[in-house]
Amino acid sequence: MSDDWDVVVVGGGGAGLAAAVTAAEQGASVLLFESEKELGGSTQLSAGMFTAAGTSVQAALGVEDSAERFFQHYMDLNSWQLNPGLIEAFCRHSGPTLEWLIGLGVEIPAKVSGNAHTPGLCQAGVEDVWRGHVPKDQGYGVVQVLAKAARARNVEVVLNTRAERLIDKDGRVAGVVADGIEVTAGAVVVASGGFAQDPDLLARYYPAALRAGEDLFVVAADGSRGDHLRFGAQVGAGVTGDGWGLLLPTAYFQRLHHWQSGFPPKSRIYVNGDGRRFMDEDASYAVSSGIIEQQGGTVWAIFDERARASLPAGYAHWDADHVLAEAEAGRTLRAGSLEELAGKAGIPADALAATVRRWNGQLPHGHDPEFLRHRTLANKGTTGNPDPIGEPPFYAARLLPAELVCTHAGLEIDARAAVRDERGEVIDGLFAAGEAGAGVLGQRYVGGGNAVANALTMGRLAGRSAV
């Protein structure tokens, strides 16, 4: 292994691979360090959905979209708290990055998809124009295509090797130290992921995650240990995105990605401490966690015996037998009447009974006039109306934002993915992307595919800029 490279990339997830492949495409010599035993990071663990605008997939389905429209939605959803120049660059380059992936071999068929696991185009979040591009073979497939492209372009990959610090020469980042060995480079791209696996950094930069207590579970890659923040501190890098991240709402008993844990029954409602519905139960996680957080405490998923018994087998948690076991243990509440269930949950019995009565007269007949859940179900390709909630015993499972997917605090970057210092000045030779390069993922996660699109789009920009 040479000790002098054009570009050194730290992190072999989606952002790092995109940066490495892009830099190598321009003739650069590229060395990539990955701290784990295999490439992929959190991208490999994801559904691989990629949110983008103005793509060939959209056009083939007759969907009219543009980067400008994407930008407006992105900024509005985040209350214009993000840097417009950075977001404009991300939105403008997301479509071309998706086309680049397709050119490398990622398969995204031009057909309508009802979810994050069926290849095609689906509704990613709360956008009016569908932008969720679901690839064949999920995030694993995307990583395999990028890894193959890296090999074909002579990117040298060193696995199971964690970079320790940056090399700073006369105010310029000029390489890294890994396993005690100095490796010099013309530029360094930090793409080491977030810090979801580091409790101390969570307490500092995303304390909201710790409010879930023992119910918190992390689905980010093991390498999400906050190395980017430690690198940044060595060179005075600015940090942005403090306090932001993505927590998905889950039942207290879930401990895996939802495609492993399973899905709650269609015939269910969510009620707050007043015993009333407060949201579309199938609302995108772009907004659902925020809605739940506004309820000021515990919310409950309410369903009946028919719904429990109809849960499909084979899932780890939302399985009929597992839910029954939770009820037998007293952790999921169970009662012979709604009034008794309300007493156990500590919510007004008359309000819960009225809420269920109203719902039974609405969505089971095809229309949800208050929360419009019938529209969400239709967009997901669901056929048939939910059953009424009426067959005892009745169940109440505690629901809260507890699945930690990604963290948004990281090194402040500009539209070229160059890292800025605490004064806002660019740090020569240092670039960052993915969760490590902050400013694209905001207070509101725009929808399914936001993190993957950020990683690959900004990774590609970082690789290009580093060269």
Q: What integer pLDDT is reported at residue 116 of this predicted model?
A: 87
Mean pLDDT along residues 140-166: 97
pLDDT of 239 strictly over 70: yes
Query: What is the rounded CA–CA span in Å between residue 85 and residue 401?
Result: 31
At 298 the pLDDT is 81
pTM (predicted TM-score)? 0.95
Architecture of the domain delimited by 247-403: Alpha-Beta Complex (3.90)
Closest CA to 15 of 185, 190, 231: 190
pLDDT tens-digit map of 28-85: 999 999 999 999 999 999 999 999 999 999 999 999 999 999 999 999 999 999 999 9
C-alpha to C-alpha distances, 184 to 8, 177, 203, 321, nearest whole angstrom: 8, 8, 34, 57
- The pLDDT score that the predictor gives to residue 296 is 85
pLDDT at 242 over 50: yes
pLDDT over 70 (residue 2)? no
Residue 230 to residue 148: CA distance in whole angstroms: 30
Please enumerate in sequence order all residues whose Cβ is within 8 A of that of 114, keeping only pairs 6 or more positions apart, or say none. Answer: 122, 379, 380, 381, 382
**Looking at residue 259, what is its pLDDT?**
82
**Hey, is 301 helix, strand or coil?**
strand
Multiple choice CATH, 5-244+408-466, 3.90.1200.10, 3.40.640.10, 3.50.50.60, 3.90.1150.10: 3.50.50.60
% of the chain at pLDDT higher than 70: 99
Predicted confidence (pLDDT) per residue in 282-335, tens digit: 999 899 999 999 998 789 999 999 999 999 999 999 999 999 999 999 999 999
pLDDT at 141 over 90: yes
Q: How many whole angstroms separate alpha carbon 467 and alpha carbon 465?
A: 5
Instruction: State the average pLDDT for the chain.
Output: 96
If residue 92 lies in a helix (H) or strand (E), which one and from where to where? Answer: helix 84-104
| Percentage of residues of the chain with pLDDT beyond 90 | 95
Pairing of strands 4-10, 181-190: parallel
pLDDT higher than 50, residue 1? no
Six token digits for residue 107: 């398969």
Residue 76: the pLDDT is 97
For range 391-398, the mean pLDDT: 98
φ and ψ at 86, to 5 degrees? -65, -45
- For residue 383, is pLDDT > 90? no
**Domain ranges (residues) in the chain:** 5-244+408-466, 247-403
